[in-house]
Structure 1
Amino acid sequence: MPSLTFLGAARTVTGSKHLLDVDGQRILFDCGLFQGLKELRLRNWSPLPVPPESIDAVVLTHAHIDHTGWLPRLVAQGFKGPIHCTGGTADLCKLVLPDAAHIQEEDAKFANKRGYSKHHPALPLYTSDDAAEALSRLKPAAFGKRIAIGPGIQAEFINAGHLLGSSYVHVTRQPQQAVASTTGILFGGDLGRYGRPILPDPSPGVEVDTLLVESTYGDRLHPVEDDGEALARIVTDTFARHGKLIIPAFAIGRVEELLYWLFRLEDQKRVPVMPIYVDSPMALKGIDYYQARTGELDPGIVFVGRHLQRFTAVSSANESKALVENDIPAIVIASSGMATGGRVVHHLLAGLPDDRNTVLFVGYQSAGTRGRNLIEGAKYVRMYGQDVPVRAKIAKVNGMSSHADAAEVIKWLRTFPRAPQATYLVHGEPPAQEALKARITQELGWRVEVPAQGQQVEIPL
């Protein structure tokens, strides 16, 4: 009987990997990097329970690093098959995978220089060549088109509303191979939100026997307050203190929404006009990809890009350094979103000790990250070998998240024609998962399970 093994994002948020075994084929759905706590990051170095060369294909739901960032490692260890995804996901992977490889190489180089690794020499998890090889295996497909992902097995990408190119994937047997009364499995990926700017709402669910759905915000609701109202208040307060507003932001997806709101607030004269800097080469390229795929964006949205010169693009390292040293009031958007690396770390190093400044988080902060420590009230954070005092105001706008909250997950589940035989909650921390499980069981009467890391289940297909 076909089986499904949960190799990542099981009782944690990162490292999404789900292995489908059917008719002697192995297909891996998502191939993400573990992030956050050291015990999770160490899993990136552990081998899969099956040889990588035995995996016939990979299917991606979207381009975020916790869903794609282990692909170069998989390739380096012997995977030779195709990687199926949407066109938008393929575009964004061209940004995130080379960047991830560069970070791995730089971290290894730094460890060797400082001698703090127990490995001699310290090696990167994967290299730029591995990332390039992974990119060469991408096979883009259109939304709504059934494609063969293996002999007798087909998949359809359906809009998930989370990120450019994001999808949930409906997997079925091809008609001549179909087993009577089975309706397939749906890999939910990351579920977007309703009524948000930039991206369309998630498409309705389809009839399936087995469903995997995320549970990132399964124990909470996003604020009903207008995102613009919260952001306007933070911008205005920071301007009054003559400070900098430093926004750690995910380089793809979140930057576009931030710019949308900042420009809208300026046009409505709800905030003072401050210089806006985007200090992320990857984010700048991502903006171009969004503009190239306006047909996949929310109808009626005309995305405002860099060509209007309403923000300053910071490309070079020297420009970034000058911005860090510049003391004028400004809004600085830089990655990474959890402040674990990237140019934003330099801005935090300079800006956190100054009580005029504000650091604003606009996305989920995984346990063990610098971002989580800051929003939980850390008085000092360690960066580049020193304890940096936190005097800046720390703020968070939860409503700008691109992940559905508990009510939005329930709303999406209600669009399914019938209850799946089994629903598995993935991509969440245990408290959120248990809360969402209880709510789905109570409100919908569905059978819900929270799989453990490495757990294997038999499924109809």
Structure 2
Amino acid sequence: MDVTVKFLGAAGSVTGSKYLVDLGDFEFLVDCGLFQGKRELRRRNWDKFPMPPTDMEAIILTHAHMDHIGSLPKLVKDGFSGPIYCTAATAELAKILLLDSGKLQEEEAEYARKKGYSRHENPEPLYTVEDAEAVFPLFAPQNFKKPFEIHPSVKVTYYHAGHILGAATVKIQIQGDSQSKNLVFSGDLGRYHDPILFPPTLIPEADAVWIESTYGDRISKPVKAEEELANAINEIFEKDGVAIIPAFAVGRTQLVMYYLYQLLRKGKIPSVPIYLDSPMAINVSKLYKDFHQDHQLIAVLDEKDQHPFQHAQLHYYRKQEQSRTLNELKGKAIIISASGMATGGRVLHHLFHHLPHEKNGVIFVGYQAEGTRGRRLVDGEPEVRIFGLEVPVKAKIYSIEGLSAHADQDELMEWAEGFSEKPKLAFIVHGEPDSAELLANKLSNELGWNTIIPNYLESVLLFKNI
């Protein structure tokens, strides 16, 4: 049996994770992500899949972020009908995110049609809400640490990766005619000292490893994230401003809510209203109770009346009418709204109205991919385009690395050192070129790993005649 892999995403970029593994008589995909960021990357979302989706037998997901699941509706619409394996929490999160994505796709196509700023005469969504719903019956939820078979020759096991609720590192054992081989996909690795999630699991053996490199070029500052957040908020409030926190609905929002609750209880920030303006984030927060075995926060959530997701200062805004009232806020308040990279969603309306005023502040709490609006704001651009208009950036922009959901370089190396023997092949993926190259060199020089930075659409023979 020959085993090959084709890199359909997250190769030379930090989005669009897709790896097609071919065993000859069985082909499966690891992750099925949406490309985000630069226009040339986003255009790939429309590309034809390199094989008929009807011929592919299965999909294995690491976690529910859109750059790992966002292309599922398009693939299913194009004919894929096999099982989609994931952890139980990932299945529920994916349903929430994919419905929201389908709705956004429809709304953006309609808005572009009305305003006429698309280069297409009749802009169409990549997929619809109905397309997203067609994915749900295919989910095949699995437990952590319990091997399951997807083919007589292929056994899969999920291990905690940190990062977000339900996120997993995947070990895939392939049994050949004469020997077996282990493939390990790190997924997106979380922090080792996250107050909510379990730390990434160390895997002892692998013949081939796929390791993410989002923060492969940096080491997070030792400053505590809680203190950084308090400093930013208090600085904004000194000017009687509004603090806007663009946050990913899954993971970062819940961590921000946790830290804000702690800061309020300790008296480190004023007792001001906190608005969670994201129906999706509200729905996600409820899942933390349903999947209490997947995180460390269950003792806190057992407090019935006062906990990070339920207290007097926290206001859940589901309706758009409620959301619009936040555009008129003048005094001290905190708005948490998606999306985390300011690429879409309700946060755009808040940025549109609050960015032009010096007293306000925008606090980014996660990675900002190259080409995103969030990255342009963090990089200090004086104007950003929102709803087809140039909006002046007068508000102060903050970026808190300590709140990132991604392991930094030291933590990536710590995870890599967990292998008792160095893998024969190590693919450095899910990172921008400089980040991937720095991590590849460090793994090679310090651990003796045979590192490869794959190119987009590159195919690699992993094993021959196993």
Q: Please, what TM-score do these two structures have when normalized by structure 1? A: 0.97
Distance verdict in 2 for CA 1:416–1:179, change over 3 Å? farther
Residue aligned with 1:272, SS: coil
Counterparts of 2:121 and 2:151, CA distance in 1: 41
Residue aligned with 1:308, SS: coil
Aligned counterpart for 1:189 among listed residues 187, 190, 201: 187
Q: Name the structure 2 match of 1:94.
A: 95
Structure 1 residue 301: Cα displacement: 5.2
Structure 1 residue 180: Cα displacement: 4.5
Aligned counterpart for 2:260 among listed residues 239, 262, 265: 262
Structure 1 residue 181: Cα displacement: 4.8
CA RMSD in angstroms, aligned pairs only: 1.3
Residue aligned with 1:315, SS: coil
Counting only pairs closer than 5 Å after superposition, residues 243-254 of structure 1 correspond to structure 2 as 243-254=241-252
Residue aligned with 2:405, SS: coil
Counterparts of 2:344 and 2:410, CA distance in 1: 32
Q: Name the structure 2 match of 1:108.
A: 109
| One-letter code aligned to 1:275 | P
Residue aligned with 1:288, SS: helix
Is 1:78 matched with 2:76?
Answer: no
Distance verdict in 2 for CA 1:299–1:242, change over 3 Å? closer
The answer on whether the counterparts of 1:31 and 1:67 sit within 8 Å (CA) in structure 2 is yes
| One-letter code aligned to 2:410 | A
Counting only pairs closer than 5 Å after superposition, residues 293-442 of structure 1 correspond to structure 2 as 293-298=291-296, 302-303=300-301, 304-442=307-445
Structure 1 residue 170: Cα displacement: 0.6
1:336-392 per-position Cα deviation (integer Å, ceiling 9, x unaligned): 000111111111011101111110101011111110110111111111122111110
Distance verdict in 2 for CA 1:300–1:53, change over 3 Å? closer
| One-letter code aligned to 1:208 | A
Residue aligned with 1:302, SS: helix
Counterparts of 1:179 and 1:397, CA distance in 2: 51
Structure 1 residue 416: Cα displacement: 1.2
Counterparts of 1:260 and 1:115, CA distance in 2: 42
Choose 61-70 or 50-59, whichever is displaced more.
50-59
Counterparts of 2:267 and 2:100, CA distance in 1: 37
Choose 198-207 or 425-434, whichever is displaced more.
198-207
Q: Name the structure 2 match of 1:232.
A: 230
Residue aligned with 1:169, SS: strand
Figure out how many residues of one structure are paired with residues of the other and give that number: 458
The answer on whether the counterparts of 1:287 and 1:305 sit within 8 Å (CA) in structure 2 is no
The answer on whether the counterparts of 1:183 and 1:207 sit within 8 Å (CA) in structure 2 is no
Q: Please, what TM-score do these two structures have when normalized by structure 2? A: 0.96
Counterparts of 2:428 and 2:218, CA distance in 1: 15
Is 1:35 matched with 2:36?
Answer: yes
1:114-143 per-position Cα deviation (integer Å, ceiling 9, x unaligned): 223333321111111110111111010000
Is 1:286 matched with 2:284?
Answer: yes
Counterparts of 1:241 and 1:32, CA distance in 2: 41
The answer on whether the counterparts of 1:182 and 1:209 sit within 8 Å (CA) in structure 2 is no
The answer on whether the counterparts of 1:291 and 1:305 sit within 8 Å (CA) in structure 2 is no
Counterparts of 1:352 and 1:64, CA distance in 2: 27
In structure 1, the gaps of 5 or more residues are: none
Counterparts of 2:311 and 2:241, CA distance in 1: 25
Q: Name the structure 1 match of 2:26.
A: 25
Residue aligned with 2:59, SS: strand
The answer on whether the counterparts of 2:32 and 2:61 sit within 8 Å (CA) in structure 1 is yes
Counterparts of 1:17 and 1:410, CA distance in 2: 23
Counterparts of 1:86 and 1:440, CA distance in 2: 29
Q: Name the structure 1 match of 2:304.
A: none
| One-letter code aligned to 1:399 | G
Q: Name the structure 2 match of 1:127.
A: 128
Choose 148-157 or 430-439, whichever is displaced more.
148-157
Structure 1 residue 161: Cα displacement: 0.7
The answer on whether the counterparts of 2:15 and 2:33 sit within 8 Å (CA) in structure 1 is yes
In structure 2, the gaps of 5 or more residues are: 302-306
1:63-115 per-position Cα deviation (integer Å, ceiling 9, x unaligned): 00000000000011111111000001001011100111111111111122222
Counterparts of 2:16 and 2:57, CA distance in 1: 20
Distance verdict in 2 for CA 1:354–1:118, change over 3 Å? closer
1:287-327 per-position Cα deviation (integer Å, ceiling 9, x unaligned): 00012212211267524353434410011000000111122
Q: Percent identity?
A: 43
Counterparts of 2:121 and 2:83, CA distance in 1: 34
Choose 312-321 or 199-208, whichever is displaced more.
199-208
Counterparts of 2:294 and 2:461, CA distance in 1: 36
The answer on whether the counterparts of 1:72 and 1:131 sit within 8 Å (CA) in structure 2 is yes
Counterparts of 1:306 and 1:199, CA distance in 2: 16
Structure 1 residue 196: Cα displacement: 1.1
The answer on whether the counterparts of 1:221 and 1:407 sit within 8 Å (CA) in structure 2 is yes
Residue aligned with 1:157, SS: strand
Counterparts of 2:328 and 2:270, CA distance in 1: 23
